Structures are given as C-alpha cells and as structure tokens.
Amino acid sequence: MPNIKLYNKISQIGLDVFGDNYNVSEDVSNAEGILVRSAALHEVEFEKELLAIARAGAGVNNIPIDRCSAEGIVVFNTPGANANGVKELAVAALLLASRNIVGGVNWALSLKGQPDVAKLVEKGKSQFVGPEIMGKTLGVIGLGAIGGMVANTAHNIGMKVVGCDPYITIKNAWALSRAIRKADDYDAIYAESDYITYHIPSLPSTKGIINKENIAKMKDGVRIINLSRGDLANTADLIEALESGKVASYVTDFPCEELLGVKNVVCIPHLGASTPESEDNCAVMAAEQLIDYIENGNIRNSVNYPEIQLPRTESNRIIVLHDNVPNIITQISGALAKDNVNIESLLSQAKGNNAVSIFDSNDNITESVVNDIKAINGVVRVLVR
C-alpha cells in the first residue's frame, strides 16, 4: 500500500480520491508521494522512496525543483483548478481599484456613535468617487488559465480588453474570446491600458516587472492589479509612482510591510484561491495526478518532467526517468533485448534536460533487468509497474 505524506490540511474531497488503496497521513514515513499546499519543502530531506510531489495549487516556489529533478522526483501542480476563484477576485479587484470602496467602508465605520450618520454620509461620500470600468481598456499580461478567464469576463462586463502572452498554449488561445485583441508585446499593453492585471509566474525574468522603467511607459493614472505574486512589483518604485499620481491605485493579493497603509493601495490577504471550490478542485486534481503516476507512470501537469500518457495494454510497464541526451533510448532498448524482454509499445517525451520513456511488455521484468537499465549513464530512476 503506497504511503502519501501530507504537509498541509488538504480538502477531504481530494483525500477521498485515494480510497482504501493508499495510506494517507501527515505522519507516514517512506512516502512514495507528497501532497502539499504552501508548506516550504526546501529544507526537507526526501526519502529514497519518494517518487512525486503534488502541489495543490499553481505556484511551486515552495518546492526545490532542481533538487527534485536530480533525484528523479516528478513535481506536479494543478493549473486551472483554482482559476475561477482567482478570476472572481480579479473582477472584485477591478472595482476596488476604481471606486475606493475600501476607503469608503472604513470611513463609514468611523462614523459610529456620531449624530445623524445619514447626513454625514451624504456630505462626505464625494471623497470616494471613482470611475466605472465599463468602456475602459484592460490590459492582461499573461493569458493562461486564469488570465484568459479574466480577459473574457472583463469583455463580458463591457471593458475593452487587450492581452499579451508570448508563451500562450494552443489550448488557452482557443479559450479566448475573439473580442480579445492580441498585443505584440508588453509595451503595447502599457501604452493603451487604463487598468493592467498581471497573471504570470514569478521567474527571474518577471521579478520586479512592475518597476520605474515600465511604469513610465504606462498611461497617467493607470490602475494596477497583481494577484499573481508579490515579487512582481518593485515596491519602492511602485510607492513612488503612487505618491506622484502616475499610478492611481494598486490592488494586490500579497501584502507586505512597505505597502500597508499606503494611500490608494488595497492589500488583500492572499484570498485568490481561498474558496472551498478551489481547494476541492486543486486537491482532487493533485491526488489524481499522483495516483496515475505512481500506478502507471503517466505524467500530467508536471513542472519539471514532460507530459506523457500511454494507455495500459500490456501486463508490465517500465518507466525510465533519464537525461535528454542522444542514444539513451537505444541503450535502454538494447538492455531490454539483452535480457530477452520484448517491447510491445514505447513512448518517450522530453522537457528541457529531463526525459521520460515508458516501455510496455508482457515479459517478466526481473531485478536484473532493472539493474541493467540503472547502469546506463544518464538514467536517473527506473520504476516497474
């Protein structure tokens, strides 16, 4: 019975996916799989039995990806599972960026105990006036599962929408409304957008992308929404732009000490995926991906290994994680032939430096066969299922 170790409280609906065939707990040892949300795993020493880590969410900053690749540990995430929850918060953020709703609510609370509150409200409400979003231009940077949904929804509520994503997939492109205009680069977004929303991961190339240089390219009075990652913003540059009025407002799901209390900043306490539906969806997807890999070697939504799915038609399966180098599949096939193992079906895929090959056979896979494959230079891990 495979062991699955939990590092956070995971939705019970997701845990139920494992059924009675798995031992799932925070206390297990010799785990073949880890299911995690936000717990940091960088200092965790992984046991030799560990085959895969599934993150119930999209971001994987809490997981040591390079070390996992070196140890032959497949890392999964769950893109799109929480997309609707984040999309809905993005719509709310558009309104919060426009209407100073938070400031107005806080001011109204300050009136408690004063005489004739209704009269005071009518007298003071003008200080919280803000524009409507209908007819304004929204620039969407990143058109993945979340960004695409935000773009489509913004169009449906009357905004003009322009988007840019140099790495958009065919699947996500097909999901976009034909009304979404495609910008050639981010500079085009900056030049024409009244509102800009970011839906991109935190990478060396994107950290600090909201900075003085790029803000200077934006329209005066631009309103910026960042529900993706806090480090996309250069905080000092952003505060300077807010103080000068270049940026009219900033709504973020990632509060930090420097932004708390800054005028025209709305700090949401990381609520993007904090819905029961998102947590359920992420947990179910993560569990299903772990099970399919542990039982069949199939990989979906891995951040460090390629997508590979081969239907089971034969009695035995060998899954080989290896370096993406020339001639290695020939060497593995040769090792199988030497041990009189006939290959009935074969599928191999690569992603960067990492590759996976699946060999199906009706012949018996002995420990000697596995050791012969492990001895090949560039082979990282061998599983038999």
- What does the mean pLDDT of the chain come to? 96
Q: What is the pLDDT of residue 266?
A: 98
Measured in degrees and rounded to the nearest 5, phi and psi for residue 203 equal -130, 165
Query: Structural domains in the chain?
Result: 1-82+275-305 (3.40.50.720), 83-267 (3.40.50.720), 308-385 (3.30.70.260)
Residue identified by tokens 């009675």 is 20
For the record, the structure tokens of 103 come out as 């400031």
Which tens digit of pLDDT belongs to each residue from 312-326?
989 999 999 999 999
Q: Which residues pair with 34 in a beta bridge?
A: 5, 53
- Find the mean pLDDT for residues 198-226: 96
Q: What is the pLDDT of residue 301?
A: 95
* pLDDT for 57 beyond 90: no
Q: What is the pLDDT of residue 264?
A: 97
Q: Identify residue 286 by its one-letter amino acid code.
A: A
- The dihedral sign for the CA sequence 65, 69, 71, 73: positive
Query: What global pTM score does this model have?
Result: 0.80
CA dihedral 20, 21, 25, 31 (to 10 degrees): 180
Going by pLDDT thresholds of 50, 70 and 90, the confidence category of residue 106 is very high
Quote the CA–CA distance of 8 and 91 in Å, as a whole number. Answer: 29
Answer yes or no: are the C-beta atoms of 134 and 159 closer than 8 Å. yes
Which tens digit of pLDDT belongs to each residue from 136-173?
999 999 999 999 999 999 999 999 999 999 999 898 99
DSSP H helical ranges for the chain? 12-15, 65-70, 83-99, 101-109, 117-124, 145-156, 170-175, 186-192, 212-216, 235-244, 276-296, 328-338, 367-374
- Find the mean pLDDT for residues 293-300: 97
Buried/exposed code over 83-98 (b: 16+ C-beta within 10 A; e: otherwise): bbbbbbbbbbbbebbb
DSSP state of 250: E
Q: What is the pLDDT of residue 227?
A: 97
Q: What is the pLDDT of residue 59?
A: 82
Q: What is the pLDDT of residue 273?
A: 85
